[in-house]
């Protein structure tokens, strides 16, 4: 969510946002700290209070300008965000994972921390999607801690693409993947020099969970 960014730009305090939106100040503080993600009804109230569009506030690449229209819920899993007369965002509710633990189903209760919405135009028929919440700085040139990367599940990762992989039964990692002869290289894209490329061979067990297709950035 771009909450911190817009509060700074508009010079609005947490207390003032609480007054305008009717949301408890401690909840707003939790959203800013990344402790919790705002649910859809709260996103609407915050966006209305700040006079920005829900889609922009959630991190989508759309105009921040707000329409007078409300958010229309077409089903519990799908929402439409009317941004402008000529621009409508259809969104789909999907799980957000804090991690992918080896040996557990991807959508196990231990992994899912909440749900969020992805733009429907990114959906391919018959495909499954989930968000993975970024932790750490091994890919901070591409996305920061707390960002949500959108993963297309069970999608082949081509050389040069960023994907989620599980190596030798350990928890999943997000890296740029390159294939070199019979080797698999996992490449960090980090400002931290401690993160180095990792090389694996055919003797290693490599499971491709899916590829990154988009990211919701939070500021």
Q: What is the pLDDT of residues 12-54, one digit of tens each?
A: 999 999 999 999 999 999 888 877 778 777 888 898 899 988 7
Whether residue 20 is contained in a domain is answered as: yes
**Distance (Å, rounded) from C-alpha 14 to C-alpha 21?**
10
How many domains in the chain? 2
DSSP type of residue 103:
T
* pLDDT at position 146: 84
Residues forming the active site: 138, 175
* pTM (2 d.p.): 0.63
User: Tens digits of per-residue pLDDT, 49-89?
Assistant: 999 887 788 777 677 876 544 444 444 455 555 544 444 55
102 and 189, same domain (yes or no): yes
In a domain, residue 90? The reply is no
Same domain assignment for residues 103 and 151: yes
Residues 43, 130, single domain; the answer is no
The structure tokens listed for 52 are 């920005």
3-class DSSP state for residue 157? Answer: coil
Residue 100 and residue 147 in one domain? yes
Residue ranges making up the domain that contains 64: 3-85
| Interval 98-133: pLDDT, tens | 877 555 667 666 778 888 888 888 888 899 999 998
Closest CA to 44 of 62, 66, 15, 13: 66
């Amino acid at each position: 969510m771009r909450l911190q960014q817009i509060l700074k730009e508009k010079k609005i305090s947490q207390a003032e946002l609480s007054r305008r939106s009717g949301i408890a100040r401690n909840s707003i503080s939790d959203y800013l700290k990344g402790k919790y993600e705002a649910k859809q009804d709260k996103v609407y109230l915050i966006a209305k209070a700040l006079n920005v569009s829900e889609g922009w506030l959630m991190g989508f690449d759309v105009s921040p300008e707000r329409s007078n229209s409300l958010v229309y819920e077409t089903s519990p899993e799908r929402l439409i965000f009317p941004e402008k007369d000529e621009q409508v965002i259809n969104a789909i509710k999907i799980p957000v994972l804090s991690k992918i633990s080896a040996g557990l189903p991807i959508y196990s209760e231990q992994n899912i921390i909440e749900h969020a919405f992805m733009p429907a135009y990114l959906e391919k028929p018959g495909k499954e999607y989930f968000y993975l919440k970024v932790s750490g700085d091994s890919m901070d040139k591409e996305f920061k801690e707390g960002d949500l990367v959108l993963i297309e599940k069970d999608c082949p990762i081509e050389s040069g693409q960023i994907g989620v992989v599980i190596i030798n039964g350990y928890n999943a990692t997000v890296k740029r993947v390159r294939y070199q002869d019979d080797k698999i290289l996992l490449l960090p894209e980090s400002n931290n020099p401690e993160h180095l490329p990792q090389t694996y061979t055919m003797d290693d067990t490599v499971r491709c969970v899916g590829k990154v297709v988009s990211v919701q950035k939070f500021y």
